[in-house]
């Protein structure tokens, strides 16, 4: 026999703060812990019009806590809101900013698939316990915070499906991909506590009290634990659960895929076990502002990021790109060679034409000073009236090789710019560094006209390859002809090339006029991003996105060539 | 020998008893239900665009469903709660609407006797600083006495519910958190029984903008509002906009307040929902919505009474429930500001609203 509980989230959302976190950290408790559920049962018991004896409830809770439940979880996506709460404090009216993080479940409000199943394998309840449990379930209107409208019911015929979570101790062979910790009330834990001699009360705290039974432990107010100085919850234990596939997280979470160096990594992170022992080479920021900048402003955003990071790092060479120990004749620092300095690459993850993320990438990795500047960066600003201040949220810090997966197996929440793909296509147009000669010669190796747009793309690729930023091998007899498509038409129709800002406000860099081109490159084998080519490539021009679509036909290439000519 | 009632008289008798019958049946039907769930399909009154609520440092609250569908929170539960509460206040006459005359609440006056605010208008209802943080601690003492607070004793939630019926029964619908340490260490929390939110499914951004023109000096100082100033505007279109409401009947029945008060609470909740849907859907300047369809999702077969029927029935229900109210129903207090403390040592202030209550 198995006890099956159906928890249907009517509003399609689940709001609940993890026990080990403050509400504004934006960390959710997922899956809902048995501790939370059993406390909700106690809450419900005290609202029954005709309450059965307390011993019946105690018996029910003892039975439930004697078995670790299994979960069957629906697909989820994380989102959040922020609002100010009016507060009366020390004789003043003030306000405090509150984050409300939630999980969207199934198909949203009212959908039949926003359901969690909890099962207690082998648990058989007596008639009185089962009747009481049914009564309690009927009286529960939410689970978690009050917005998590929920309907609970005991089911004889469950329709189990979705992601399964079960205690790690029960896993044979470890079929799951990652673990989470779940707070569980345990009778053994309470019994063990009772057998121990409690230490004297801490200074300024009340005496420790051990709850008499599991119901008393569940009834305890959090304030009481704090007053007695408990570091945990008496009568509860964290149990490791294994999930059989990674949870899907959306792009809009304030802490999506959070894996900051120096911070404890979330147990539910898709990259559990990933060590930041090596130096991180990329930092990914989410942007927040009343109106996000258009993709056409990618160059400006790149420059603003560089200025802000130079300011925070007091002109660190990784951000400035100029070596203070290598001066020219006039005493100015010379540009560093080999592209080890940062790239500031804009992203448009949802394809709406607005920049929502920025990837700061340093091929050789960041040092401690650079990491501090990256962590300190909270906003970028602009002197232009049309572009206001942008809030920046550091959401990822890591090494490219740990995150570079193919598009098919890409982990949601990870930058697509650092994917592994064969075909890459312009996200922002490329400005050529050199002018196209009137009477060009043919490059025999590549079969491309020297200094033609395609040839310049190839030169840039060779340059990156020379500095070990791109790694691939060319099969014998393979040439680049027909593997580099350059066009002025664009690929997605979002904005024409001339809508993009194509000149840096400050700084040098050779460029051949104002024209910009869209490029698609098919490499002989999959390469790992990021990839940016041409003038101002470090600042967001000529950025490439991986794509699945195969190379166009030769006629399409030729017609594109004609247009360029 | 008895004679059947003349056929002509029968409809008249039924008509006269109609409301009472309907209400008796309605409340009987709801007794067996644990919650009432309503869904209203909405659409912009004109055009296709609308402006959602904005959140600090975030703008509009977009999020995604697991399948990638872009969703938008048009109105949060907190905002809908405020709008539902506002339906019963007649701003022009500074009183409750005529249908709800006679309900209890706490009115606050300043030291010169001028009206300041009341528990219906305050963000934290009875937990307002103008009611509980005043030198006039008469109402605070009422709470302490009537809640019979004793150290190391369990809280009496039935007692708490009865007290709220007495002084402001709307707190039972919208929740209350008595966050003061003097009142049982801030443990008296009442989750909201009536809740709602509006969200849009499958949204797209509509980005527009313009320039505020200065006819005299186009390059005037923008910080002083002069000069030509470009501005942005983001509105949305959606495949579907829906308002969702939940009335937790089990919670209301759980306080054992008696049929008269329970029925009144349910009727007020339904009236607020109907009033909000009828008059309150102009949420912002560029967000004017109307109801396309209103469905009862639970309990099955329940028919939502119209606002006219509810408006007619409410005065009678209030009259019936009056013995449970304070006498007079409106409790008056005076707000006398306390001197500012140098260091906080006990005044906890308003803790997070009932939204933060976790089960």
Radius of gyration of chain B (CA): 24
Question: Which residues of chain A have a CB within 8 Å of the CB of B242?
Answer: 109-110
Whether the predicted pLDDT of A339 surpasses 90: no
What pLDDT score does B67 carry?
A: 87
Of A529, A18, A545, A546, which is closest to residue A258 (Cα–Cα)? A18
Chain A, nearest residue to B206 by Cα: A352
SS (HEC) of A401-423: HHHCCECCCCCCCCCHHHCEEEE
Tell me the nearest-neighbour CA distance from A544 into chain B, angstroms. 23
Distance CA A109, CA B39 (A): 10
Report CB contact under 8 Å: A79, B63.
yes
Backbone angles phi, psi at B22, to 5 degrees: -60, -45
Radius of gyration of chain A (CA): 29
CA atoms within 13 A on the CB side of A1: 7
Whether the predicted pLDDT of B334 surpasses 90: yes
Distance CA A118, CA A121 (A): 10
Tell me the nearest-neighbour CA distance from A102 into chain B, angstroms. 10
Report CB contact under 8 Å: A79, B61.
yes
Whether the predicted pLDDT of A179 surpasses 90: no
Confidence of residue A90 (pLDDT cuts 50, 70, 90): low
Whether the predicted pLDDT of B314 surpasses 90: yes
Tell me the nearest-neighbour CA distance from B124 into chain A, angstroms. 9
Tell me the nearest-neighbour CA distance from A348 into chain B, angstroms. 14
- CA dist list (Å): B142 to A88, A468, B58, B145, B173: 21, 77, 42, 5, 21
State whether residue A308 sits within 8 Å of chain B by CB. no
What pLDDT score does B68 carry?
A: 86
Whether the predicted pLDDT of B264 surpasses 70: yes
Four-point Cα dihedral B256, B259, B261, B263, nearest 10: 120
Backbone angles phi, psi at A76, to 5 degrees: -130, 160
Of A163, A77, A270, A254, which is closest to residue B66 (Cα–Cα)? A77
State whether residue A92 sits within 8 Å of chain B by CB. yes
Tens digit of each residue's pLDDT (9 = 90 or more) over A208-235: 788 888 998 888 877 777 777 777 788 8
Cβ within 8 Å of A, B 241-300: 242, 244, 246, 248, 250-251, 253-256, 297
Four-point Cα dihedral A530, A532, A537, A543, nearest 10: -90
Distance CA A320, CA A324 (A): 10
Whether the predicted pLDDT of A390 surpasses 60: yes
Confidence of residue B322 (pLDDT cuts 50, 70, 90): very high
What pLDDT score does A563 carry?
A: 42
Report CB contact under 8 Å: B59, A290.
yes
DSSP A25: G
**What percent of chain A lies above the pLDDT cut of 70?**
85
What pLDDT score does A91 carry?
A: 63
Tell me the nearest-neighbour CA distance from A12 into chain B, angstroms. 9
Question: Which residues of chain B have a CB within 8 Å of the CB of A289?
Answer: 59
Give the best-scoring range by mean pLDDT among A207-211, A550-554, B309-313, B347-351: B309-313
Whether the predicted pLDDT of B110 surpasses 70: yes
State whether residue A289 sits within 8 Å of chain B by CB. yes
Whether the predicted pLDDT of A201 surpasses 90: no
What pLDDT score does A263 carry?
A: 30
Interface test with B, best of A18, A21, A26, A47 (most B CBs within 10 A): A47
Average pLDDT over residues B160-180: 92
Parallel, antiparallel, or unpaired: how do β-strands B330-334 and B105-109 relate? parallel
Report CB contact under 8 Å: A144, B186.
no
State whether residue B197 sits within 8 Å of chain A by CB. yes
Report CB contact under 8 Å: A39, B359.
yes
Question: Which residues of chain A have a CB within 8 Å of the CB of B59?
Answer: 288-291
Tens digit of each residue's pLDDT (9 = 90 or more) over B6-39: 443 333 333 344 555 567 778 888 888 889 999 9
**What percent of chain A lies above the pLDDT cut of 90?**
25
Whether the predicted pLDDT of A560 surpasses 80: no
Interface test with B, best of A108, A251, A293, A351 (most B CBs within 10 A): A108
Distance CA A511, CA A432 (A): 6
Cβ-based neighbours of A263, under 8 Å, separated by 6 or more:
none
Report CB contact under 8 Å: A82, B199.
no
Whether the predicted pLDDT of B157 surpasses 90: no
Average pLDDT over residues B269-298: 94
Whole-prediction pTM:
0.66
SS3 A318: helix
Distance CA A268, CA A242 (A): 10
Confidence of residue A395 (pLDDT cuts 50, 70, 90): confident
What pLDDT score does A47 carry?
A: 81
Whether the predicted pLDDT of B100 surpasses 90: yes
If residue A469 lies in a helix (H) or strand (E), which one and from where to where?
Answer: none
Tens digit of each residue's pLDDT (9 = 90 or more) over A274-288: 333 347 889 999 888
What pLDDT score does B7 carry?
A: 41
Distance of CA A195 to the CA centre of its chain: 44
A252 or A113: which leads in pLDDT: A113
Question: Which residues of chain B have a CB within 8 Å of the CB of A153?
Answer: none
Question: Which residues of chain A have a CB within 8 Å of the CB of B192?
Answer: 146
Confidence of residue B167 (pLDDT cuts 50, 70, 90): very high
State whether residue A91 sits within 8 Å of chain B by CB. yes
DSSP output for A109-150: TT-TT-EEEEEEET----HHHHHHHHHHHHH--BSSBTT-BE
Question: Which residues of chain B have a CB within 8 Å of the CB of A85?
Answer: 352-353
Tell me the nearest-neighbour CA distance from A82 into chain B, angstroms. 6
State whether residue A352 sits within 8 Å of chain B by CB. yes
CB burial of B311-344 (b: ≥16 within 10 Å; e: otherwise) equals: bebbeebbeebeebbbeebbbebbbeeeeeeeee
Cβ within 8 Å of B, A 19-58: 23, 36, 39-40, 43, 46-49
User: In this structure, are residues A540 and A301 in contact, taking their beta carbons and an 8 Å threshold?
Assistant: yes
**Widest CA span of chain A, in angstroms?**
98
What pLDDT score does B183 carry?
A: 83
Whether the predicted pLDDT of A559 surpasses 50: no
Q: Residue B175 region, left (φ>0) first, then alpha (ψ -120 to 50), else beta?
A: left
Distance CA A559, CA A487 (A): 9
What pLDDT score does A333 carry?
A: 75
Tell me the nearest-neighbour CA distance from A306 into chain B, angstroms. 22
Average pLDDT over residues A1-12: 92
DSSP A521: E
What pLDDT score does B148 carry?
A: 77
What pLDDT score does B152 carry?
A: 66
Q: What is the mean pLDDT of chain A?
A: 81
What pLDDT score does A225 carry?
A: 75
Interface test with B, best of A18, A81, A84, A183 (most B CBs within 10 A): A81
Give bridge partners of residue A283 from the DSSP assignment.
Answer: A360, A397
Find the CB nearest A23 among B61, B70, B356.
B356
| Across A229-233, A345-349, B221-225, B239-243, least confident range | A229-233
């Amino acid at each position: 026999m198995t006890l099956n509980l159906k928890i249907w989230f009517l509003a399609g959302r689940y709001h609940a703060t993890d026990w080990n976190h403050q509400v504004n950290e934006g960390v959710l408790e997922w899956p809902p812990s048995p501790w939370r559920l059993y406390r909700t049962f106690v809450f419900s018991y005290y609202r029954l019009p005709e309450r059965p004896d307390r011993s019946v409830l105690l018996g029910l809770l003892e039975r439930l806590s004697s078995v670790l439940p299994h979960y069957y979880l629906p697909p989820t996506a994380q989102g959040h809101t922020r609002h100010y709460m009016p507060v009366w404090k020390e004789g003043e009216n003030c306000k405090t900013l509150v984050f409300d993080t939630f999980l969207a479940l199934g198909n949203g409000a009212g959908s039949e698939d926003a359901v969690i199943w909890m099962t207690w394998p082998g648990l058989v309840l007596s008639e009185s316990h089962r009747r009481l449990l049914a009564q309690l379930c009927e009286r529960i209107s939410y689970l978690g915070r009050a917005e998590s409208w929920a309907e609970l019911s005991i089911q004889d015929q469950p329709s189990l499906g979705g992601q399964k979570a079960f205690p790690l101790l029960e896993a044979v062979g470890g079929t799951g991909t990652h673990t989470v910790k779940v707070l569980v009330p345990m009778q053994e834990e309470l019994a063990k506590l009772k057998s121990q001699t409690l230490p004297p009360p801490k200074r300024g705290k009340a005496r420790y009290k051990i709850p008499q039974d599991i119901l008393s432990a569940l009834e305890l107010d959090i304030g009481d634990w704090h007053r007695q100085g408990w570091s945990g919850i008496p009568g509860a234990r964290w149990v490791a659960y294994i999930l059989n596939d990674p949870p899907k997280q959306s792009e809009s979470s304030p802490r999506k895929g959070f894996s900051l160096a120096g911070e404890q990594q979330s147990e539910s992170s898709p990259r559990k076990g990933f060590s930041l022992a090596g130096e991180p080479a990329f930092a990914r920021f989410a942007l927040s502002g009343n109106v996000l900048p258009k993709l056409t402003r990618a160059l400006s955003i790149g420059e603003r990021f560089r200025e802000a990071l130079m300011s925070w790092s007091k002109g660190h060479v990784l951000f400035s790109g100029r070596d203070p120990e290598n001066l020219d004749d006039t005493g100015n620092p010379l540009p560093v060679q080999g592209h080890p300095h940062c790239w500031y690459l804009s992203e448009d993850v949802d394809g709406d034409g607005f920049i929502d993320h920025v990837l700061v990438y340093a091929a050789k990795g960041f040092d401690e000073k650079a990491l501090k500047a990256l962590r300190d960066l909270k906003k970028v600003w602009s002197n232009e009236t049309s572009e206001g201040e942008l809030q920046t949220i550091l959401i990822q810090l890591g090494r490219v090789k740990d995150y570079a997966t193919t598009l098919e197996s890409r982990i949601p929440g990870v930058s697509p710019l650092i994917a592994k793909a064969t075909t890459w296509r312009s996200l922002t147009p490329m400005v050529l560094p050199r002018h196209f000669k009137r009477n060009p010669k043919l490059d025999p190796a590549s079969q491309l006209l020297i200094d033609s747009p395609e040839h310049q793309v190839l030169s840039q690729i060779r340059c990156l390859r020379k500095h070990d930023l791109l790694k691939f091998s060319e099969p014998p007899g393979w040439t680049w002809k027909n593997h580099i498509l350059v066009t002025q038409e664009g690929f997605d129709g979002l904005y024409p090339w001339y809508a993009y800002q194509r000149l840096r406000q400050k700084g040098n860099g050779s460029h051949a006029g104002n024209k910009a081109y869209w490029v698609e490159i098919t490499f002989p084998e999959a390469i790992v991003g990021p990839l940016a080519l041409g003038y101002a490539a470090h600042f967001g021009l000529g950025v490439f996105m991986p794509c699945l679509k195969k190379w166009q036909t030769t006629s399409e290439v030729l017609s594109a060539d004609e247009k360029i000519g | 020998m008895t004679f059947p009632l003349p056929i002509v008289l029968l409809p008249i008798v039924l008509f006269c008893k109609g409301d009472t019958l309907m209400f008796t049946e309605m409340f009987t039907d709801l007794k067996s239900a644990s919650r009432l769930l309503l869904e209203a399909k909405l659409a912009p009154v004109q055009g296709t665009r609308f402006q959602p609520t904005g959140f600090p440092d975030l703008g509009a609250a977009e999020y995604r469903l697991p399948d990638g569908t872009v969703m938008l929170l048009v109105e949060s539960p907190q905002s809908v709660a405020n709008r539902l509460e506002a339906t019963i206040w007649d701003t022009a006459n500074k009183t409750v609407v005529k249908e709800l005359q006679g309900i209890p609440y706490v009115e606050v006056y300043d030291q010169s006797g001028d009206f300041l605010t009341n528990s219906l208008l305050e963000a934290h209802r009875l937990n307002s600083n103008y009611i509980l943080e005043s030198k006039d601690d008469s109402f605070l003492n009422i709470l302490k006495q009537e809640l019979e607070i004793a150290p190391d004793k369990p809280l009496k939630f039935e007692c708490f519910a009865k007290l709220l019926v007495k002084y402001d029964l709307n707190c039972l619908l919208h929740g209350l958190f008595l966050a003061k340490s003097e009142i049982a260490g801030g443990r008296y929390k009442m989750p909201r029984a009536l809740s709602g939110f509006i969200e849009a499914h499958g949204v797209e951004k509509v980005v527009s903008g313009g320039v505020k023109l200065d006819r005299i000096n186009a390059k005037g100082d923008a910080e002083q509002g002069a000069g030509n100033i470009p501005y942005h505007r983001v509105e949305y279109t959606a495949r579907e906009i829906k308002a969702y409401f939940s009335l937790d009947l089990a919670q209301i029945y759980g306080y054992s307040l008696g049929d008269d008060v329970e029925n009144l609470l349910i009727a007020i909740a339904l009236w607020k929902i109907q009033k909000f849907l009828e008059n309150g859907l102009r949420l912002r300047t560029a967000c004017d919505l109307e109801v396309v369809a209103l469905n009862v999702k639970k309990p099955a077969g329940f028919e939502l009474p119209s606002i006219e029927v509810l408006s007619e029935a409410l005065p009678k229900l209030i009259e019936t429930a009056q013995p449970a109210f304070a006498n007079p129903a409106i409790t008056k207090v005076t707000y006398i500001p306390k001197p500012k403390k140098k260091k906080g040592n006990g005044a906890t202030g308003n803790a997070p609203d009932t939204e933060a209550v976790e089960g």
